[in-house]
């Protein structure tokens, strides 16, 4: 039972079914918007009860069958842990000058109680409690480090930093590294400076859309910001035998033991359902190198979602995830006809990543769909022939909304990069005057929720 609840609430909790849903994705993939929009849609679901197939929760079976009654946000549950900033997210999108909310950092939670009618002859009112756990996808990228020594990780990280696409961002770090003596004693001030340069390089790579950025906690430190254990970066072989190098090696092992393993052990064992947000459109815009890196990143981190008889990560002790959803976000940034293509691209990308069929053979139930948690565009057609689908919205930097043609998505996977013609416009949210009472317009938000929990509300 939760501390701080009154006796009646404690008794009620005994008869409440509970589900934990993990929500993850890399920076700008849409985690924050998804959680905020989903919670607002559930709170406002009553506005759509007589309008089957409409509203943000269209295709959410319990609502369309008339079973769903109401949702309540439970601030009193886990009141001593970081809470997802639902009201700030809601308000940033619900004003006349609507803006995308600030990204969350670290782990946070949002708990909702969903009241519903059971089916069958004896109908009863029951409660399903869902706990949404928001955690950064950047933390998943650290998983491969567990199987590496400091020397192996350093060689790999430095080689990646020296590639053509990344070299301009990592140049300040390499310049500073060049001034490090081969017999250098371990010095915390020196470590702070080099960590700052390495973190700056990682942030620039992440802002571009690249995903293999380690240590992931440097990008999303959460409660560990400024902690000595995060003063970690790779060193070339010539420096690794020095006292400074030995100090870094010790810190590398400490990072694995105290940061990476506890995160997976303490959080994954509690997750019942999982949604992974994929911003494939932004990666596609950046081209082949960014796309190839995303594929390789997912190939390395996908084992954490494996479960069943063969646990590929024995120290995890098994997970209980029963449903896994891969959501291609920003579905409103492509034309209506391309949304099915976007979903198909994700399926084909997963086939590239899971070339040994390990995911498909070990995951009991997983799905792929296109998603726009808050819709920022309208679907329109050109007036003049040949008529074609276009989008109506306001990209960042534009003063007003107008018509935009993003081009078409490639059908091949991997794409023929010489023939890719797609323009990713980062559309801003439009004013949504009715959002506080009706929720935000969305694409497949109700369908995603139905996949994750629909069967649990029967």
Residues of the chain with CATH 3.40.50.300: 7-138+266-377+428-457
Question: Please, which pLDDT band fits residue 22 given cuts at 50, 70 and 90?
Answer: very high
Query: Which has the higher per-residue pLDDT, 285 or 129?
Result: 129
Query: Using an 8 Å Cβ cutoff, are 269 and 318 in contact?
Result: yes
Question: Please, which pLDDT band fits residue 304 given cuts at 50, 70 and 90?
Answer: confident
Query: Using an 8 Å Cβ cutoff, are 333 and 291 in contact?
Result: no
| Residue in the structure block whose two tokens are 């609507």 | 98
What phi and psi values does residue 388 have, to the nearest 5 degrees?
-150, 160
Min mean pLDDT across 65-69, 120-124, 128-132, 287-291 is at 120-124
What is the reported pLDDT for 1?
A: 40
How far, in Å, CA of 25 to CA of 397, rounded?
A: 25
What is the reported pLDDT for 84?
A: 95
The structure's pTM equals 0.90
Question: Please, which pLDDT band fits residue 309 given cuts at 50, 70 and 90?
Answer: very low
Q: Which two tokens stand for residue 17?
A: 């079914």
DSSP 6: -
Of 378, 382, 376, 408, nearest to 391 by C-alpha is: 378
pLDDT for 146 beyond 70? yes
Which H helix or E strand runs over 209? none
Q: What is the pLDDT of residues 317-350, one digit of tens each?
A: 555 778 899 999 999 999 999 999 999 999 988 8
What is the reported pLDDT for 312?
A: 44
**Contacting residues for 189 by C-beta, under 8 A, at least 6 apart:** none
For the residues 99-103, what does the mean pLDDT come to?
Answer: 91
Cα–Cα distances (Å) from 180 to 69, 109, 169, 233, in that order, read 64, 42, 19, 13
How far, in Å, CA of 139 to CA of 23, rounded?
A: 13
Question: What separation, in Å, do the N-terminal and C-terminal C-alpha atoms of the chain show?
Answer: 25
Cα–Cα distances (Å) from 422 to 140, 145, 290, 417, in that order, read 29, 35, 15, 11
pLDDT for 259 beyond 50? yes
Of 440, 432, 332, 371, nearest to 41 by C-alpha is: 440
What is the reported pLDDT for 362?
A: 65
Q: Are strands 389-395 and 366-370 parallel, antiparallel or unpaired?
A: unpaired
pLDDT for 413 beyond 90? no
The highest-level CATH class for domain 7-138+266-377+428-457 is: alpha beta
SS3 of residue 311 by DSSP: coil
Q: Are strands 378-381 and 389-395 parallel, antiparallel or unpaired?
A: antiparallel
Q: Which two tokens stand for residue 91?
A: 């308000």
pLDDT averaged over every residue in the chain: 88
**Contacting residues for 361 by C-beta, under 8 A, at least 6 apart:** none
How far, in Å, CA of 340 to CA of 441, rounded?
A: 19
Question: Please, which pLDDT band fits residue 364 given cuts at 50, 70 and 90?
Answer: low
Q: Which two tokens stand for residue 89?
A: 């997210």
For the residues 120-135, what does the mean pLDDT come to?
Answer: 89
């Amino acid at each position: 039972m939760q501390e701080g609840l009154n006796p009646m609430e404690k008794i009620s909790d005994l008869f409440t079914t509970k589900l934990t849903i993990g929500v993850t994705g890399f920076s700008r993939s849409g985690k924050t918007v998804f959680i905020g929009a989903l919670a607002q849609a559930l709170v406002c679901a009553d506005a759509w009860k007589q309008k089957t197939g409409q509203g943000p929760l269209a295709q959410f079976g319990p609502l369309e069958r008339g079973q769903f009654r109401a949702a309540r946000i439970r601030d009193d549950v886990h009141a001593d842990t970081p809470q997802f900033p639902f009201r700030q997210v809601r308000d940033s999108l619900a004003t006349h000058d609507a803006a995308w909310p600030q990204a969350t950092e670290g782990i946070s939670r949002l708990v909702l109680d969903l009241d519903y009618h059971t089916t069958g002859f004896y109908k009863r009112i029951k409660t399903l409690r869902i706990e949404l756990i928001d955690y950064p996808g950047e933390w998943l990228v650290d998983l491969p480090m567990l199987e590496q020594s400091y020397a192996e990780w350093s060689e790999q990280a430095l080689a990646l930093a020296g590639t053509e696409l990344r070299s301009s961002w990592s140049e300040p770090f390499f310049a500073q590294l060049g001034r490090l003596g081969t017999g250098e004693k371990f010095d915390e001030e020196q470590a702070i400076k080099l960590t700052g340069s390495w973190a700056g390089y990682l942030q620039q790579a992440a802002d571009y859309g690249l995903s293999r950025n380690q240590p992931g906690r440097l990008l999303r430190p959460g409660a560990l910001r400024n902690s000595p254990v995060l003063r970690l970066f790779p060193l070339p072989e010539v420096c690794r035998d020095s006292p400074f190098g030995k100090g870094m090696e010790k810190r590398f092992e400490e990072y694995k033991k105290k940061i990476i393993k506890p995160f997976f052990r303490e959080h994954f064992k509690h997750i019942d359902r999982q949604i992974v947000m994929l911003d494939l459109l932004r990666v596609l815009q950046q081209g082949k190198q960014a796309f190839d890196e995303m594929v390789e990143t997912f190939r390395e981190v996908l084992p954490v979602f494996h479960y069943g008889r063969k646990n590929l990560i024995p120290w995890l002790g098994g997970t209980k995830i029963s449903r896994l959803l891969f959501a291609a976000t920003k579905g409103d940034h492509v034309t209506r006809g391309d949304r099915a293509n976007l979903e198909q691209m994700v399926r084909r990308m997963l086939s590239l990543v899971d070339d040994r069929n390990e995911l498909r053979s070990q995951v009991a139930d997983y799905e792929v769909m296109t998603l726009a948690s808050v819709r920022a565009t309208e679907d329109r057609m050109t007036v003049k022939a040949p008529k074609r689908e276009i989008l109506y919205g306001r990209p960042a930097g534009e003063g007003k909304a107008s018509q935009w043609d993003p081009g078409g998505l490639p059908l091949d996977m991997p794409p023929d990069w010489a023939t890719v013609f797609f323009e990713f416009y980062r559309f801003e949210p439009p004013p949504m005057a009715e959002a506080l009472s009706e929720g935000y317009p969305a694409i497949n938000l109700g369908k995603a929720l139905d996949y994750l929990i629909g069967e649990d509300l029967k």
